[in-house]
Chain A
């Protein structure tokens, strides 16, 4: 129990650092830490395939994209004097923080409530749910489910990725008049 609390607190601290750090390089490093610790949390929750995708895509590819963007621009030099919009002064930020903490405390106090949306998150088909003996069972079940039931989604997803790659190439290519 204590280990998942430790990992989730690491996720929160690194996400907070990613948002509040003034140096963009530090923010990207904190984002990398967020994604890695979130991958560990997924693994501990019994979702090893999701953890693998999280580490490969979010902690790998996306962070590399962020680093390349920072390298190709001005690096850590992009600092604005005033990071806040005028109406979002310190008092409003403090009020929002207190409000969010109060809401979260309320959620914690009512943790024994029976969440009605819980049953919608899992499938109603009892045949899909199973008792896993190891992480290999989970990986096999998820892979089989993906190819047997969501195969069309996977194919469409590959087309979406192809469209995104073409979009990135079109955005980044040098125009002739430049």
Chain B
């Protein structure tokens, strides 16, 4: 069993990185990278908390995280398909130029 503080710090930093990417980046693909980092932070924290019982393994959080991983992959796939479609129409990934969302 590893100390929970390692995982708290790692999760918090990953969360900050993902939020910074979502806040300051203008590229649609980079925004999706930021979202994926946020997903990773949440999953890591969940698994880390589930392994804090002394020597015990709890299958419930692991199975929930497994399902969350599959759904996160689905979200990213749909987001990338949307990004490809946006690029096909507007020839750019710059979200400033996509403000109007008008076809």
- Give the B-binding residues of A (Cβ under 8 A): 1, 4-5, 8, 11-12, 15-16, 18-19, 24, 27-28, 31, 34-35, 38, 41-42, 44-47, 49-50, 53-54, 57-58, 61-62, 65-66, 68-70, 72-73, 78, 80, 83-85, 88, 93, 96, 100, 103-104, 107-108, 111, 115, 117-118, 121-123, 128-132, 137-138, 141-142, 144-146, 149-150, 153-154, 157, 160-161, 164, 167-168, 171-172
Contact = CB atoms under 8 A, between A and B. Distances in A.
A172 B84 contact: yes
Contact of A88 (B14, B23, B30): B23
24 contacts: A8-B6, A16-B17, A18-B17, A19-B34, A31-B36, A38-B40, A38-B44, A42-B47, A46-B51, A47-B62, A53-B69, A65-B77, A80-B94, A83-B25, A88-B23, A100-B13, A104-B12, A104-B13, A132-B57, A138-B59, A146-B63, A153-B67, A157-B71, A167-B78
B24 A83 contact: yes
Query: Which of B8, B70, B72, B83 lies at the interface centre, i.e. has the most chain A CB atoms within 10 A of its CB?
Result: B70
A151 B57 CA distance: 20
B29 A146 contact: no
Interface of B: 2-10, 12-14, 16-18, 20-21, 23-27, 29-30, 32-34, 36-37, 40, 43-44, 46-53, 55-67, 69-78, 80-85, 87, 93-94
B82 A171 contact: yes
Query: Which of A5, A100, A121, A160 lies at the interface centre, i.e. has the most chain B CB atoms within 10 A of its CB?
Result: A121
A112 to B, nearest CB: 9
Contacts of B53: 122, 129
Contact of A50 (B12, B49, B69): B69
A150 B63 contact: yes
Given A4-B2, A41-B44, A168-B78, A27 B12 contact: no
Nearest to B14: A15
Given A47-B65, A69-B80, 15 more contacts: A19-B20, A31-B36, A34-B40, A50-B62, A50-B69, A53-B70, A57-B72, A57-B73, A62-B36, A80-B26, A104-B12, A121-B50, A128-B58, A164-B75, A171-B81
